[in-house]
Structure 1
């Protein structure tokens, strides 16, 4: 039949098997193989056809590597048309995940059966796309309009049992022997004279949809989509499924899919998809590098960060011991963990039984002697280098040889911390982001002497606990926080130059950030930065902090005090512009001799985001980050950079490095050279007409 698709007749049932590791993606060879097999089955003694897959999953989606390339026949719609027009019943037998084009293939079959552990879904929206082979037309015809919209605009897969309730799966099998059970199900359908169901023959009564439903749904989705366009196009397609015949609806879907696949947003989101997978690979680290067995973990410190990290390990069944200075602090930390789990239970996202299992895995102690046998220790204490060195000296004297000693520091020198031990090869940075049990990013910081097997272990362990890992070398703030400095600094300086807090934040949010930088400051607490600045031996330039300092000194600490850059409603925490703050800004600008002016939206965007790009170029040149895509992943998962922009380095390539370079030079000449010096790498690439993507290719 083909090298990736086989066909045989078993007990009068034709069995088509796809075997194209690792995920049976719908490559041209797979599409052609399925089409040929269905056509062959029309002419033999088979009475029905089962479509299934070898390996760990059903067809898990389209072959994303074909995107942007000339179309290769047969197209997916052409293959599905052959499936749908079969004179014999076609039954999809699903295990693993049937996603995207894989699920659309199953929907084109007459019936669908699945093992209990299977999941089905249409995740195209996460790549800035919509299902382009009938998904938006078939799902609403089976599951109903509202369920279809929720499924397709979220992109989240649903388990077999739920899919069965929705009508998307017709039969949930026992799951002991997929092939035997699917053949038996096919035989049962044939012998019972089952109808030749075709989803395309189902119609939706437009009168069943309440007036204004689609407009209201658009408004709801727009709030969570943050400027993304794919969700709106998906709604248009589902609307077409209600109001148009199947073939006309498919034309609408194909037209809007073609629009999206060439859009900057989808290109950015596909970049992020590949960058995430690339970030997990460490250059120069052999694939067969061994990993250490991590069966038990200890965490030093049970505060917000330590408790969140503990939950990450308990969630995947790894026992954790929290170490605290005293029982009171330990009890407080354990109490917060229990409260966090209880909130998840109340939301219906966790069962009481699962909460009990996870809590049972988290224990506490006030003695280092109780963690002698752990395989990994993560220090999560106050950001003070002396305290951290003291902790690592104790760990070196206590914990067994071969254990990994990790620091969760977000700024401090990992090499200096490692020097506090006699085993620097075992020391690594594991920078979690707060709240650690929610945020997906894990910056893995490689010290000068960190062993290869430690890095390999931590990267794999990060994936196991549900994190997206990015590797950084040692520098102050590593990748993310080092870059963030310029972003926050310019937000403050824009105020002095004439912008209001509302202007700055609204422009950042329109760009796609979940919150603007000043609103984030209010949320975190303005006193945190204030205390850090007070502790510095060398005081910062007043232009970078004079307003924030004045707010704190007047008792405005942010949301927790009811006022910061904004006023906050005591009941709802809704923010409002405050004339007092705007006057304070004017007074401080006058105090510093700054003449305020009108600031354009374009200037705000460029001054906020171009410092990220410039610092990113320095980070690449210094070898702190392995590749531009790693920087993008840090910002997408750790700092809320809009995925529809692809990350700061991809965004720079889209804007054009020449424009970025010229603009930074313009700011240097008009705003001063103190904070506006173009990075040598940025200047070099701009003058050569190259991109960061070009640099990545040239540097392996």
Structure 2
């Protein structure tokens, strides 16, 4: 059985306690129990009103998504809500923890909503490729207006209780005891001589100016990349007040059911579950170490970003660097970001003040002596990193966790510079570290279970999406991205231009093409890595010199105003000079350039990604296909609505994709391995 609902009676009020741990998801069993208990309250003459409340830490955090790939079992949520709305007795939703999705729609079916101070409410369904399907698009606009409803629903915003009260999403905040105050509110409604029912569905929506609605539509469409569920949500919201309420509810439900079974919604559910699985440690019960203070060695862009991420999460941070100018730049950057976050309301005054007070800057390594976690974030050079770790070990507590932020280097080689490699892990942040969600937690050969468990716990404490990765060149993400970028560079030699490759891949759904990304991050970073690995490069591997030529010409990307593109006004503009460099590189190799259409570009680039992702999985660098998908979606701009590269691969023709992967491997040079995609179970129903 998946959840139940208990009826408790107290002084004329029937409390329906929804009990389906851990988050009271609205399963079929919960819906059946709700209907039965609502009928009991309705039939009991001693009960004057009803209150819905959740057991444990939440009201109802949403529907049980595991049911969405199956035919939905009756009763469905609209039937439960209809029972509330047709009841002769008033109902109050007592909200605490999370009241999201179907949980908030259940609350909207009540006559009033009261919430504990730390409650969050919202309708996040659009994040799963669907729309609210139990009245959300028809009722929220009647409370907050159409323009605000479009913004809230299409983004899936979680709204804190105080703001929800000001917007009208709830009716009251509990000052002390939620249950007692909900009962008082319910009884006051029962005694209301004007009638107890105040159904949301019967209210007229506020009269928003059409210009505000149009502005909200334009913004939501752009933010949602014009995906079908976004357009459907907008259409349903705009219909409120223009058609009968019953028709609006029926249309919304039909759209929900249609979208629920589409491949896009299935892909988004896949990545939803994969993200939750990726952050869990398996096979060990070791408790993580407590981390109350973080140290960072290196005051560059990454080091300052890591420290800022800690401060934003209420963890004091120490930055150590031998260069006082670098420390001052880090101080200014962090202070500026805290100020901006405070002014924008993203940080409360108390959190902002604590962040300012929690930052320590020092040129002395001994400032790290009281840190629970020390993260090295210096230049990507093995000798330098080993030297830094030897220095860290001289001042760190014996129980402190040590981590390297390396993007490519061998964790074991770095840990080998210490006398206790068991407490060394990789924490691969993505730039900007205070913004990007992904954090690869890399286990070295000697890394202890406790060290890895602590790394995963720290990632969660920082609000990051953790993924455990094995110790291999580039780990999961950078290794796959390197294969992708190389395939795109091959296409430059074969006949494409940078802007053509970028346009084709943006057409697939990437936020930016690979060459625009390279310009944004700086071409010199990869150039430096190529220079360091020249001696170990396989001479048979295909090597494209175009990026080197750009760097040699001083074109390092946006920061120099020129890279693959020119940036006369901060926006990329194709440059004939780059076209000439590309064409000359082809001529020097004797390559006869052939035009590549957008579909060919996409097939070649995606095959390179999928093939390398398959190899990463085969070699155990990633623990699951879902982990690979989480990394590429959260760190590299792979379109979320595809579910990630390996989920997407499982939706393609197996024979064609395997052939494309073989071609991608051959294009990279002789003896390049080809992933056995069928053996990875990407097409479980094949054969």
TM-score range, shorter chain: over 0.9
1:314/1:692 CA distance change after superposition, 3 Å:
farther
Deviations 1:190-212 (Å, cap 9, x if unpaired)? 3343541112212348x865279
Cα deviation, residue 608, structure 1: 1.3
Counterpart check, 1:136 vs 2:137: yes
Note if contact 1:2-1:33 (Cα within 8 Å) is conserved in structure 2: no
**Per-residue CA shift, 1:541-578, capped at 9, x if unaligned?**
796432222223333222222222222223xx122222
1:619-638 maps to which residues of 2 (within 5 A)? 619-638=616-635
Indicate conservation of the 8 Å contact 1:283/1:626, yes or no.
no
Q: Which residue of 2 aligns with 1:83?
A: 84
Q: Distance in 2 between matches of 1:537 and 1:667?
A: 23
- Deviation at 1:352? 4.3
Once the two structures are superposed, residues 636-659 of structure 1 have per-residue CA deviations (whole angstroms, 9 ceiling, x without a partner) of 111111110111111111114432
Residue of structure 2 equivalent to 1:652: 649
Partner in structure 1 of residue 123 of structure 2: 122
**Which structure 2 residue ranges, 5 or more long, are not aligned?**
none
The alignment status of 1:269 with 2:268, answered yes or no, reads yes
Whole-Å separation in 2 of the counterparts to 1:519 and 1:2: 48
User: CA–CA distance in 2 between the matches of 1:384 and 1:2?
Assistant: 53
Structure 2 residue matching 1:574: 3-state secondary structure: coil
CA deviations over 1:404-461 (Å, ceiling 9, x no partner): 1111111111111111111111111111111111111110000111111111122112
Q: Which residue of 1 aligns with 2:104?
A: 103
- What does residue 308 of structure 1 align with? 305
Correspondence for 1:178: 178
Q: Does structure 1 retain, via aligned residues, the 8 Å contact 2:92–2:114?
A: yes
User: 2:161 maps to what in 1?
Assistant: 160
Contact 1:62 1:100 in 2 (8 A): yes
The 5-angstrom pairing of residues 374-385 of structure 1 reads: 374-385=371-382
Shift of 1:492: 1.5
1:580-659 residue pairs with structure 2 within 5 A?
580-659=577-656
Q: Secondary structure at the match of 1:405?
A: strand
Q: Tell me which residue corresponds to 1:23.
A: 23
What's the Cα RMSD here?
A: 2.3
> 1:323: which partner in 2?
320
Aligned match of 1:226: 225
SS at match of 1:243: coil
SS at match of 2:386: helix
Task: Give the match for residue 698 of structure 1.
Answer: none
Instruction: Verify the 8 A CA contact 2:542 2:668 in the aligned structure 1.
Output: no
2:239 is paired with a residue whose SS is helix
The whole-number CA distance in structure 2 between the counterparts of 1:419 and 1:524 is 30
Cα pair distance change 1:158/1:394, threshold 3 Å = same
Map of 2:295 onto structure 1: 298
Which residue number in structure 2 is paired with residue 280 of structure 1? 279
Identify which range, 640-649 or 650-659, moves more after superposition: 650-659
Is 1:490 the equivalent of 2:487?
A: yes
Q: 1:684 to 1:66 in 2, by over 3 A?
A: closer
TM-aligned CA deviation for residue 694 of structure 1: 8.5
Matches within 5 A, 1:52-91: 52-91=53-92
- Contact kept, 8 Å, 1:240 with 1:252, in 2: the verdict is no
Q: Tell me the equivalent position of 2:236.
A: 237
Which of 332, 337, 343 is equivalent to 2:334?
337
- For residues 205 and 86 of structure 2, the distance between their equivalents in structure 1, rounded to whole angstroms, comes to 21
**How far apart, CA to CA, are the structure 2 residues paired with 1:2 and 1:327?**
59
Normalising by structure 2, we get a TM-score of 0.95
Q: Please say if 1:555 is aligned against 2:551.
A: no
CA distance in 1, matches of 2:547, 2:234: 43
SS of alignment partner, residue 412 of structure 2: helix
Answer whether contact 2:114 2:173 (CA < 8 A) is retained.
Answer: yes
For these two proteins, the number of residue pairs brought into alignment is 682
Find the aligned partners of 2:263 and 2:345 in 1 and give their Cα distance. 37
| Counterpart Cα distance in 2 of 1:635 and 1:668 | 20
Structure 1 unmatched ranges of 5 or more? 696-700
Residue equivalent to 1:678:
674
SS of residue matched to 2:549 = helix
Residues 231 and 375 (structure 1), Cα distance of their counterparts in 2 relative to 1, 3 Å cut:
same
1:478 CA displacement: 0.6
Task: Give 1:425's aligned residue.
Answer: 422
Question: Helix, strand or coil: the match of 2:361?
Answer: strand
Do structure 1's residue 50 and structure 2's residue 78 form an aligned pair? no
Structure 1 range deviating more: 657-666 or 96-105: 657-666
Indicate the residue corresponding to 1:514 in structure 2.
Answer: 511
Displacement after TM superposition at 1:692 (Å): 6.6
Aligned to 2:286: 289
Distance 1:668 1:298 in 2: 42
Contact 1:5–1:33 (CA under 8 A) maintained in structure 2: yes
TM superposition shift of 1:662: 1.4
Q: In the alignment, what sits opposite 1:372?
A: 369
Matches within 5 A, 1:211-222: 213-214=213-214, 217-222=216-221
Q: Cα gap change, 1:87/1:316 in structure 2, threshold over 3 Å: closer, same or farther? A: same
Distance in 2 between residues matched to 1:179 and 1:630, nearest whole Å = 41
Q: Distance in 2 between matches of 1:583 and 1:179?
A: 73
Deviations 1:51-88 (A, max 9, x none): 11111010111011111212212111111111110111
Distance 1:417 1:693 in 2: 40
Tell whether the 8 Å contact from 1:491 to 1:504 is kept in structure 2 after alignment: yes
Tell me how far apart the structure 1 counterparts of residues 191 and 420 of structure 2 sit (CA, whole Å): 70
Q: CA deviation at 1:683?
A: 5.8
What is the alpha-carbon distance in structure 1 between the residues aligned to residue 679 and residue 272 of structure 2?
28
Query: Scaled by the length of structure 1, what TM-score is found?
Result: 0.93
Alignment check: 8 A CA contact 1:557 1:564 kept: yes
Query: Quick check: 1:664–1:677 contact (8 Å CA) kept in 2?
Result: no
Q: Output one character per residue of 1:467-523: Cα deviation in whole Å (capped at 9) or x when no partner.
A: 111111111111111111111112222122222222111111111111110111111
CA–CA separation in structure 1 for the residues paired with 2:671 and 2:520: 26
Supply the distance in 1 between the matched residues of 2:63 and 2:3 (Cα, whole angstroms): 18
8 A contact 2:143–2:205 mirrored in 1: no
Q: Cα offset for 1:674?
A: 3.8
User: Which shifted more, 394-403 or 414-423?
Assistant: 394-403
Q: Distance in 2 between matches of 1:529 and 1:456?
A: 31
Write the distance in 2 (CA, Å) between the matches of 1:487 and 1:231. 30
